[in-house]
């Protein structure tokens, strides 16, 4: 490595030591100034930070530092999303205890973050795997259980036989287990769920109020929740004489009750919980059974394309609720079990999917709606899905659209065969994991009392440290000698502790409240109410767009629940959201498998933290993807090196630079100095507006580079004889530049700022542009002929049209362009442009 351009290593170490000694970023509520809560998504302690983290935290730190300089009392905390699968895999592969693995990762990553010089209040650091954090997961769970918001139900889940565990959807890759590569199958299991669907309406409606969120994220959440209004309609099952049925009716969900008279069959999902019991145990049902089995197996293969619609007749018939017709019940692979009721009424004439299915299996197509302006055809070529006038629909014939839907639904409701219903695509949140490294779910299964919550006074239910990992899967807690067997808190009999742990998304659903509420927090509460109401909501949240749905939706849900429990002062946790783009290298996302990762540590060693931060902020706007370019990093490095060198030579010329006053300059400046002064104040204005509007840090930094270029040129040009004004302009210029730079490259800004006397003089605040300095003596006017640039001439900014026009007509190029032309009119924009509109004369 060549010699450094400036001693960044010493500077960064010294400055960081001083921040630490001064507890510079430790905050408490109620200090002077309004509050500002700036938060970046906390990391999973995987072992090392990567460039995505560096980018995320550089953006957040720049915002936090900027707001601090603007006089806000800024909360800027950091912690660790410390539960999760990788810790257990490390335990299995390398025999390290998950707790030890996690702790050592945290220690290392914390060191890495500190080397970046991020202005965190480390006194609030939390790790979700610590009992004083996860006990509150358990406490909240008990509250939810009490409120009926946590419940158990049977559900179909991805199951890996070889690992003997449930897998989340995102852990299934092409139908195979991400860890062992064996096929995953669907299996029905009892699981804990949280009733997020109770909040679906709220979560969906309030998206509109989130004006500080990117439209993209709001749309993604809206599509994910996807409310849909329709009706539930009951179909009575024809009882086969031979036996009793598990239910007398099947209920369908439809958004098109107006097509009810066009129903020619009903389709049920193969996974439907009633189906097994509905099918008679007879040889005729063998095809149906084998169809179900096959479909379930195929389900797990995450095929890109839609599979062919397939189905089989169930052998059962239903009664149409209004016509009394006999309707066959089919089993179809295209029916989604977990949406609506898992049963759909099929109207082949008016639904494309039903149409395809009916054509394939020769089922009747019965048209009952005629859209305006269309002819009635004897044979349909595809489904007619538009609204229209009903016919062959009993007393409802002649009605149309919403009117027909309302009338039919009302009639069904009156006769007790149906009702209006709003359904959501969003499903309840399954939170059980058959895993060790997570929060134990605080309930006890008692043979006589059923499910008994662990009494609050017994919290936390601690994860036992002595655990044995076989690598064969299944929850290690289930094999623990003493964890599982416990007395029932209710009857004292022998009970069994729940051995499932919670989804780690629970941990990240309220950590932002803990950071705020941990200040003066009473022992028996998760938060200090005073601290919480002072700091919340988060004013600026920053993280990757990959969390646009899951984490952000869960966090919004959880915050609402806590609000309803009187524990959170706010319903929406994040006032404004910034989703930063990915860090790419060679056109694709950095990943170990592609071998295109850039190691932050190595970069910091080579160029220093300031350079690394500056480059990531400069090279692209925060919300766009950032293409990593080793060469371009050197550009940022050179800028800082040049700045350092220029300040050095400033001291050579003016050894007293650090102690001179740069208050108001009352005397007149030379024309050159005056231009430099304008540039200084224009830069203040530019950087400020760039930061206020969508954190456009790339252009803000470009502005700083321009200012340095201007100052450098002025400095290198020793023609000016007015030493005192020259010194004044240069010193105030560098002081301003360093203040404006400090959110982005804080170490060098602090160090050079100290040398230039910023520290002692209390100039910590963000500079304010001086309106008088913004007025330039002359500005360039663009002279156009028919909209084409012909000259650029300088005039005072308030020059009148006649003045500019006269000047323009003396310009050689303009004269040439106007020769032989008649001027029809002139367009004049003061301070900017003069356009001659001409035609040949």
Interface positions, 767-826, toward RNA (CB under 7 A): 780, 782, 784, 786-789, 792, 813, 816-817, 825
Q: Tell me how far, at minimum, the Cβ of 89 lies from RNA, in Å.
A: 24
Among 6, 133, 510, 639, which residue sits at the site for RNA (rule: CB under 7 A)? Answer: 639
Measured CA to CA in angstroms, residue 809 lies from 779, 792, 796, 802 at distances of: 18, 12, 17, 11
Tell me the closest approach of the beta carbon of residue 414 to RNA, in angstroms. 21
Of 304 and 592, CB closest to RNA: 304
Query: Exactly one of 165, 264, 611, 835 binds RNA (CB under 7 A); which one?
Result: 835
SS3 493: coil
> Which of 709, 723, 778, 822 is the binder for RNA (CB under 7 A)?
709
Nearest C-alpha neighbor of 783 from the set 792, 775, 774, 771: 792
Choose one: 312-320, 488-496, 565-573, 632-640; the region binding RNA (CB under 7 A). 632-640
Q: Which CB atom, from 347 or from 532, has the smaller least distance to RNA?
A: 347
CB nearer to RNA: give 439 or 619.
619
Q: Does 253 bind RNA (CB under 7 A)?
A: yes
Q: Which residue in 713, 723, 778, 822 binds RNA (CB under 7 A)?
A: 713
DSSP state of 263: -
Q: Within 592-631, which residues bind RNA (CB under 7 A)? A: 618-621, 624-627, 629, 631
Closer CB to RNA, 99 or 837, in the complex: 837
Adjacent-strand bridge partners of 823: 838
For residue 175, give every residue at least 6 positions away whose Cβ sits within 8 Å of its Cβ, in sequence order, or none. Answer: 183, 184, 300, 301, 302
C-alpha closest to that of 38 among 578, 460, 472, 552: 578
Nearest to 621 by CA among 699, 543, 685: 699
Task: Name the minimum Å distance from CB 1 to RNA.
Answer: 10
Q: Find the part of the chain contacting RNA (CB under 7 A) among 136-144, 251-259, 274-282, 719-727.
A: 251-259
Q: Nearer to RNA by C-beta: 513 or 633?
A: 633
Task: Please tell me the distance from the alpha carbon of residue 131 to that of residue 121, in angstroms, as a whole number.
Answer: 21
Quote the least distance from Cβ 445 to RNA, whole Å.
32
CA atoms of 120 and 318, how far apart (whole Å): 65
Residue with tokens 């706010």: 570
Closer to RNA by Cβ: residue 332 or 526: 332
For residue 780, report the phi and psi dihedrals to the nearest 5 degrees.
-75, 135
Cα angle, residue 63 at apex, residues 59 and 66 outer, rounded to 5°:
135
Residues from 328 through 367 that contact RNA (CB under 7 A): 333-336, 339-340, 344-345, 351, 353
Residues 413-442 interacting with RNA (rule: CB under 7 A): 423, 425
Distances (CA, A) of 336 to 270, 340, 342, 428, 807: 9, 8, 6, 15, 76
- Nearer CB in complex with RNA: 487/787: 787
Q: How far is the C-alpha of 159 from the C-alpha of 145, rounded, in Å?
A: 26
Q: Smallest Cα–Cα separation from 124: which of 68, 77, 82, 60? A: 77
78 or 640: CB nearest RNA: 640
Q: Which of 696, 725, 732, 742 binds RNA (CB under 7 A)?
A: 696
Q: How far is Cα 353 from Cα 351, in angstroms, rounded to an integer?
A: 6
Structure tokens at 752: 């050079």
Per CB under 7 A, contacts with RNA among 531-550 are 545, 549
CB of 635 to RNA, least distance (A): 3
Identify the residue among 636, 673, 695, 745 touching RNA (CB under 7 A).
636
Q: Minimum distance between the CB of residue 223 and RNA, rounded to whole angstroms?
A: 5
77 versus 641: smaller Cβ distance to RNA: 641
Residue 80, strand partner residues: 127
The answer to whether residue 497 forms part of the interface with RNA (CB under 7 A) is no
For residues 478 and 702, which CB has a smaller minimum distance to RNA in the complex? 702
State in angstroms the smallest separation of the CB of 322 from RNA: 17
Query: Counting every residue, how long is the chain?
Result: 841
Closer residue to RNA (CB): 358 or 513: 358
Rounded distance, CA 621 to CA 696, Å?
Answer: 6
Quick one: tokens of 326?
């006999």
CB 841 to RNA: min, Å = 17
Closer Cβ to RNA, 306 or 667, answer by number: 306
Q: What element of type H or E holds 158?
A: strand 150-160
Instruction: By CB under 7 A, name the one of 237, 252, 553, 583 that touches RNA.
Output: 252
Taking residues 641 to 670 in sequence order and writing x for each that binds RNA by CB under 7 A, - otherwise, the string is xx--x-------------------------
| Phi, psi angle pair for 453, to nearest 5° | -65, 145
Q: Which CB, 65 or 405, lies closer to RNA? A: 405
Q: Given the complex with RNA, which of 135 and 686 has the nearer CB atom?
A: 686
Smallest gap from Cβ 107 to RNA, in A, equals: 33
Site string for RNA, 268-307 (x = CB under 7 A): -x----------------------------------x-xx
CB of 305 to RNA, least distance (A): 7
Q: Please, which residue, 244 or 719, has the CB nearer to RNA?
A: 719
Region near RNA per CB under 7 A, out of 193-201, 367-375, 389-397, 639-647: 639-647
Is residue 229 within 8 A of residue 320, CB to CB? The reply is no
Identify whether 537 is preceded by a cis peptide bond (ω within 30 of 0). Answer: yes
- Characterize 350-364 residue by residue with b for buried, 16 or more Cβ atoms within 10 angstroms of its Cβ, and e for exposed: bbebbbbbbeebebe
Q: Give the integer Cα–Cα distance in Å for 268 and 343.
A: 4
Three-class DSSP labels, 551-578:
HHHHHHHHHHHHHHCCCCCCCCCEEEEE
| Min separation Cβ 791 and RNA, Å | 9
Give the per-residue contact string, 197-226, with RNA (x = CB under 7 A; - = no): ------------------xx--xx--xx-x
Q: How far is CA 149 from the centre of its chain?
A: 25
Q: Which of 55, 256, 320, 421 binds RNA (CB under 7 A)?
A: 256
Residue from 706, 722, 754, 811 touching RNA (CB under 7 A): that is 706
- Applying CB under 7 A, among 670, 699, 805, 821 the residue interacting with RNA is 699
* Alpha-carbon gap, residue 277 to 284, rounded angstroms: 15
With contacts defined by CB under 7 A, name the span among 48-56, 81-89, 770-778, 829-837 that binds RNA: 829-837
For residues 232 and 253, what is the distance between their CA atoms, to the nearest angstrom?
5
Looking at the Cβ atoms of 20 and 638, the one nearer to RNA is 638
Among 86, 635, 796, 797, binds RNA (CB under 7 A): 635
β-pair partners for 184: 160
Residue 164 has, within 13 A of its CA and on its CB side, a CA count of: 10
Residues forming a β-bridge with 39:
541
Report how many residues bind RNA under the rule CB under 7 A: 84
What values do phi and psi take at 589, rounded to 5? -60, 140
- CB contact burial 109-141 (16+ within 10 A = b; e otherwise): bbeebbbbbbbbbbebbbbbbbeebbbbbbbbb
What minimum distance in Å lies between the beta carbon of 490 and RNA? 39
Shortest distance, CB of residue 304 to RNA, whole angstroms? 6
CB nearer to RNA: give 118 or 617.
617
Site residues (CB under 7 A) for RNA, limited to 3-62: 5
3-state DSSP assignment of residue 744: coil
Position 716 contacts RNA (CB under 7 A): yes
Would you state the structure tokens that stand for residue 383, as one six-digit string?
């489904």
Q: Between 213 and 469, whose beta carbon lies closer to RNA?
A: 213
């Amino acid at each position: 490595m060549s010699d450094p351009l400036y001693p960044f290593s010493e500077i960064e170490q010294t400055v960081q030591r001083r921040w630490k000694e001064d507890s510079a970023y430790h905050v408490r509520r109620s200090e002077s100034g309004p509050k500002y809560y700036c938060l970046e998504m906390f990391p999973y302690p995987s072992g090392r930070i990567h460039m995505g983290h560096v980018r995320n935290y550089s953006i957040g730190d720049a915002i936090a530092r900027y707001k601090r300089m603007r006089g806000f009392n800024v909360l800027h905390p950091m912690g660790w999303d410390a539960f999760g699968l990788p810790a257990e895999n490390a335990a299995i592969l390398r025999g390290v205890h998950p707790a030890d693995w996690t702790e050592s990762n945290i220690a290392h990553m914390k060191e890495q973050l500190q080397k970046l010089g991020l202005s965190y209040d480390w006194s609030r650091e939390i790790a979700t795997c610590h009992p004083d954090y996860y006990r509150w997961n358990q406490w909240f769970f008990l509250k939810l259980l009490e409120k009926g918001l946590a419940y158990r139900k049977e559900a179909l889940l991805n199951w890996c036989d070889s690992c003997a565990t449930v897998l989340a959807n995102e852990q299934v890759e092409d139908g195979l287990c991400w860890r062992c590569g064996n096929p995953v199958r669907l299996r029905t299991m009892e699981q804990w769920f949280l009733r997020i669907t109770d909040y679906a309406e709220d979560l969906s409606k309030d998206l509109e109020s989130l004006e500080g969120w990117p439209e993209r994220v709001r749309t993604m959440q809206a599509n994910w929740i996807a409310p849909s209004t329709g009706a539930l309609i009951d179909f009575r099952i024809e009882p086969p004489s031979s036996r009793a049925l598990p239910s007398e009716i099947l209920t369908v969900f439809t958004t098109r009750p107006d097509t009810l008279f066009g129903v020619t069959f009903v389709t049920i999902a193969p996974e439907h919980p009633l189906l097994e019991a509905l099918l008679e145990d007879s040889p005729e049902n063998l095809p149906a059974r084998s169809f179900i089995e096959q479909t379930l197996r195929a389900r797990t293969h995450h095929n890109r394309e839609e599979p062919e619609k397939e189905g089989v007749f169930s052998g059962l018939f239903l009664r149409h609720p209004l016509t009394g017709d006999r309707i066959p019940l089919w089993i179809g692979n295209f029916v989604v079990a977990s949406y609506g009721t898992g049963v759909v009424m099929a109207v082949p004439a008016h639904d494309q999917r039903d149409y395809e299915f009916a054509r394939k299996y020769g089922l009747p197509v019965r048209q009952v709606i005629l859209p305006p302006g269309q002819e009635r055809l004897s044979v349909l070529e595809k489904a007619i899905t538009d609204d229209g006038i009903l016919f062959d629909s009993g007393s409802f014939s002649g009605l149309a659209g919403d009117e027909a839907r309302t009338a039919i639904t009302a009639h069904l409701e009156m006769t007790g065969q149906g009702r209006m219903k709003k359904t959501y695509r969003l499903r309840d949140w399954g939170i059980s994991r058959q895993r060790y490294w997570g929060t134990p779910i605080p309930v006890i299964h008692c043979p006589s009392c059923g499910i008994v919550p662990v009494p609050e006074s017994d919290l936390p239910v601690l994860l036992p440290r002595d655990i044995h990992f076989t690598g064969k899967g299944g929850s290690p807690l289930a094999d623990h000698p003493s964890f599982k067997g416990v007395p029932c808190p209710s009857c004292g009999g022998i009970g069994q502790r729940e051995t499932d742990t919670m989804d780690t998304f629970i941990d990240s659903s309220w950590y932002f409240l803990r950071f705020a509420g941990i200040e003066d927090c009473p022992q028996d509460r998760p938060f200090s109410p005073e601290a919480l109401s002072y700091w919340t909501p988060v004013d600026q949240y920053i993280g990757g767009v990959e969390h646009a749905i899951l984490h952000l939706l869960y966090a919004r849900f959880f915050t609402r629940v806590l609000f309803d429990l009187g524990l959170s002062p706010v319903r929406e946790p994040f006032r404004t959201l910034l989703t930063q783009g990915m860090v790419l290298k060679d056109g694709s996302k950095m990943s170990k498998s592609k071998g295109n990762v850039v190691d932050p540590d190595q970069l910091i060693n080579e160029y220093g933290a300031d350079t690394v931060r500056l480059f990531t902020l400069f090279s692209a706007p925060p919300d766009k993807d950032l293409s990593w370019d080793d060469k371009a990093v050197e550009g940022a490095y050179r800028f800082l090196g040049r700045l350092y060198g220029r300040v050095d030579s400033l001291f050579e010329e003016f050894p007293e630079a650090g102690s001179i006053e740069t208050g108001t300059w009352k005397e007149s400046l030379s024309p050159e100095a005056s231009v430099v002064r304008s540039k200084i104040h224009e830069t203040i204005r530019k950087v400020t507006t760039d930061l206020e509007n969508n954190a456009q840090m790339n252009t803000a930094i470009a502005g700083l580079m321009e200012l340095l270029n201007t100052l450098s040129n002025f400095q290198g040009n020793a023609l000016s004889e007015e030493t005192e004004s020259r010194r004044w302009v240069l010193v105030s210029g560098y002081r301003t530049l360093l203040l404006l730079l400090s959110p982005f490259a804080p170490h060098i800004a602090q160090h050079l700022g100290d040398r230039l006397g910023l520290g002692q003089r209390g100039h910590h605040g963000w500079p304010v542009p001086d309106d008088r300095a913004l007025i330039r003596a002359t500005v360039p006017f663009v002279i156009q002929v028919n909209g084409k640039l012909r000259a650029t001439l300088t005039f005072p900014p308030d020059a009148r049209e006649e003045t500019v026009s006269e000047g323009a007509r003396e310009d050689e190029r303009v004269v040439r362009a106007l020769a032989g032309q008649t001027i029809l009119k002139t367009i004049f924009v003061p301070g900017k442009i003069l356009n001659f509109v001409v035609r040949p004369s």
